[in-house]
Amino acid sequence: MICLGIEGTAHTISIGVVKNQNKKCKVLSNIIKIYRPEQGGIHPREAANHHAFYVADLIKESVNKAKLGFSEIDLIAFSKGPGLGPCLRTAATAARALSLSINKPIIGVNHCVAHLEIGRGTLDKCSDPVLLYTSGANTQVIAFAEGKYRVFGETLDIGIGNCIDKFGRIIGLDFPCGPAVEKLALKGKKYLDLPYSIKGMDIAFSGLLTAAEQYYKNKEKIEDICYSIQETTFAALTEVTERAMAHTEKNQVLLGGGVAANKRLREMVNIMAKERGASFFVPEKDLCIDNGAMIAWLGLLMYKSGIRMKVENSFIDQRFRTDMVDVTWRD
Amino acid sequence: MTEKIIYQGAEAKICISKYMGFVVVKKRRLKKGYRIKQIDNKLISTRTKEEAKLMIQARAAGVSVPIIYDVDLQEGVITMEYLKGKRIKDILNSLDENERARICKKIGESIARFHNNDIIHGDITTSNMILLDDKIHFFDFGLGEINSEVEAKGVDLHVLMEAIESTHSKYSNCFNYVLDGYKKELKQDANKVIKKIQEIVKRGRYR
């Protein structure tokens, strides 16, 4: 079975084509186009305009790159949520138009669950991981338990990416600020004490952000502040992930989301996994950030397990929570 | 003298050991290679100290907690009474409905007792409670604090609500029984705390 997936939850519009091969996911194409505002953060409507401008060409490009004709696509999947309304609607509209014009079924999928499934689908031996999903908006620790993907821990205020971006903007960096903050952090030497906020398996970052801003106003070196932000927030993320692993008695950990590109976060989670004898997984970069292939793969899994959606019911859901999805494709 | 590990959690190793002739439990917080020394030392010593302090205060408030024999801040070790009971996490799903309700009410009553004294547990899950002699014993106060705000009590109960939803999802009405017991025993207006829990739920993403 071959599925084309359309991702459009936030700043990224992406089209991926995948097929299933021996129960694993084979990515045939995965084209990603990211909206970058000239200044400030994402404006939802402008991001949606960006997506609308490119989506048709990207669909053609993706099908060509997969060396297929449109008649060979069996299913169209799209990101149903969670995300920004205008962006979600643009992706869903493109999916509906494509589904009707090539007369193939449509299916809407949960973006967060897709991040987990693409890891299981493409990585050897990654069968039942705890996912640490860190992006701009999302910070969740997700694992499979009692028939659903459950959120064992999550941010109580802002996402980790958002926290880093906000600090980046205070010190005058361009969006997304993660890579620049990571570079600055490498030059940091002095650890500045920052709030470390964990409630059970949940975390919070806004207090830390305020404290970091204070250090900036007090003329501490930005390298030291970036270093301290990374060390503190990533330690907290690693700790809640380890707590979830102990709680669910799972011995695999998977990273997903844009912040998973950060080498220090990877290193910390990897050390944690080693110290408890667990396996560490991270998908290749283009499958880690927001991408169409993961949407396509989850759509394919859902369709094969018997889930069907009519075009007239292909709504988007800005607040589509991870634990709202009935997982029909796993034992 | 040999120590036997009975449980290894994310944060600490729990061993059975001997102390002045008593059979005891030693909770040893583990150094973590993933975090820098400054953070590691700070977390281990403050949590060990905070935990011991809160356990003593909780006992004074009428909550069953293991007796503390010794605390070593440098090593991050608390030596305490060995409770030969059963973890609530392991038994809750297999109880019959009436018994489950009764146990959950007792849990709520105990939480109210420490909240009456502004003791916040910080990690109330069914893994952190032991049933022994028909009493609920609480441990693992390492993420706790003293805080009189409704917000802190709400967050404290919200952690338990999430734990029940994820670990005992078929019996999520358990949390209502917990609240019944909580209301009965809390000295301030419990509805304020319950309203706060609803507010905290909505604060989560995509609610």
**ipTM of this model?**
0.89
Same domain, A208 and A265: yes
Q: Say how many domains are in chain A.
A: 2
Task: Kindly state the average pLDDT of the residues A312-330.
Answer: 95
Full residue range of the structural domain in which residue A165 is found: 127-282
Same domain, A294 and A274: no
List chain B residues with CB under 8 Å of A243: 9-11
Structure tokens belonging to residue B15: 């061993």
Residue, of A152 and B205, whose pLDDT is higher: A152
Same domain, A180 and A94: no
Same domain, A248 and A168: yes
Q: How far apart are CA B40 and CA B33, in angstroms?
A: 9
Same domain, A164 and A22: no
What are the pLDDT digits (tens) for A242-277? 999 998 999 999 999 999 999 999 999 999 999 999
Same domain, A131 and A255: yes
Q: How far apart are CA B98 and CA B125, in angstroms?
A: 21
Same domain, A85 and A146: no
Task: Kindly state the average pLDDT of the residues A230-248.
Answer: 95
Task: Kindly state the average pLDDT of the residues B32-50.
Answer: 95
Nearest residue on chain A to B36, alpha-carbon basis? A231
Closest-CA distance of chain B to residue A96, Å: 24
| pLDDT reported for residue A201 | 86
Whether residue B109 has pLDDT greater than 90: yes
Is residue A146 situated within a structural domain?
A: yes
Asked if A321 lies within 8 A of B35 by C-beta distance, the reply is no
Q: How far apart are CA A259 and CA A274, in angstroms?
A: 21
Q: State the CATH number of the domain containing residue A56.
A: 3.30.420.40
| pLDDT reported for residue A295 | 98
List chain B residues with CB under 8 Å of A321: 205-207
- Tell which residue, B58, B68, B88, B63, has the closest CA to residue B27: B68
Is residue A331 situated within a structural domain?
A: no
What are the pLDDT digits (tens) for B176-197? 999 999 999 999 999 999 999 9
* C-alpha radius of gyration, chain B, whole number: 17
Task: Kindly state the average pLDDT of the residues A156-184.
Answer: 94
Q: What does the H/E/C string look like for A84-127?
A: CHHHHHHHHHHHHHHHHHHCCCEEEEEHHHHHHHHHHHHCCCCC
- Tell which residue, B114, B181, B126, B125, has the closest CA to residue B153: B114
Q: Could you say which of B42, B167, B204 has the minimum Cβ distance to residue A154?
A: B204
User: Which residue ranges form the domains of chain B, and what is each CATH number?
Assistant: 4-81 (3.30.200.20), 86-203 (1.10.510.10)
Residue, of B193 and A201, whose pLDDT is higher: B193
For residue B206, what pLDDT band results from cuts at 50, 70 and 90? low
Is residue A228 situated within a structural domain?
A: yes
For residue A42, what pLDDT band results from cuts at 50, 70 and 90? confident
| pLDDT reported for residue B207 | 60
Name the catalytic one among B118, B123, B140, B189: B123
